[in-house]
Amino acid sequence: MKRIGIVAKVKQDKLVRQTVNDLVRWLSNRQIQPVLDEEIGKPLGHPDCLPKQELPEATEMLVVLGGDGTLLSVARLVKGRDVPILGVNLGSMGFLTEVTIEEMFPVLEQVLEGKYRIDRRMMLNAQILRQGACIMEESLLNDVVINKSALARILTLEVVVDGNYLTTFQADGLILSTPTGSTAYSMAAGGPIIYPSLASILLSPICPHTLTNRPIILPVDSTVEVTLRSEQRDAYVTLDGQVGLTFLENDVAKIEQSEYTVPLVKSPFKGYFEVLRTKLKWGER
């Protein structure tokens, strides 16, 4: 590898600055050119910076320093480019950024020696349709969330799977997630944890009015269409918790498997079950 991109949490605290500077120095000492996201690189005075959206095309690998939110923003930019992402956790509860700061350089040594494995995570493709026209389309790694503001009325959401009517939920909202996203908002809403390699789509209602409404795991090749059937001016659809728009009456969210995957560098020091035990504090009293 000759060029490695670095994306870091924009928050300019001491740990972020020190970690970025240490990584730049470490790569430069090995004749590898570090290319920084300009949002972090310019304040640090680094000469080689690019806008974040240009990094996947200009580099052979991306190191993401921060939490899952930082990694999710990068994952949506890769889109079919075979650029591995190494997520390094800077202190938040990250399931995707599973490598610690202490493990970062040993993992990078193995990467440079070609001794690493890639975990390809499925994505979803979401189209938002208004009066039959697509007003937004995006691939995402975690989830699509349709919900209401704190004081809004309960939502009426009609769900159709592969052209077959499933049910109409009366709920605070719905979450459609990948297996990767099953440990995010869906888990907080009572959804199951799905092993990342089990290709599927998880539908989880948020606080349903009918208590028998339960999360459903659907085949990965399903096409799910969610239509807002209530007159509602405070409903929103959000992708990966970061981008979205107002969801109006009769708007349709069409969700299916994306053609893209996200290549994540696996930690050689821990497996998925250890990550779950550690992050969720299983077995602790």
How far apart CA 227 and CA 174 sit, in angstroms, is: 11
- Tokens 């499925």 map to which residue? 122
Polymer length in residues for the chain: 285
Which is it for the CA torsion 30, 40, 244, 69, positive or negative? positive
Contacts of 182 (CB under 8 A, 6+ apart): 191, 192, 193, 194, 202
Contact 104, 89 (CB under 8 A): no
Q: Which of 22, 37, 68, 240 is catalytic?
A: 68
Q: What is the dihedral of CA 176, 180, 183, 188, to 10 degrees?
A: -10
Segment holding 225, helix H or strand E:
strand 224-228
Beta carbons of 57 and 241 less than 8 angstroms apart: no
Q: Within the chain, what is the greatest distance between any pair of CA atoms?
A: 61
Q: Are 222 and 180 in contact (CB under 8 A)?
A: no
Dihedral of alpha carbons 268, 24, 47, 3, sign:
negative
For 163, 240, 250, 254, 284, the CA distances from 144, given in Å and listed in that order, are 19, 6, 17, 10, 32
- Is 119 an annotated catalytic residue? no
List active site positions. 68
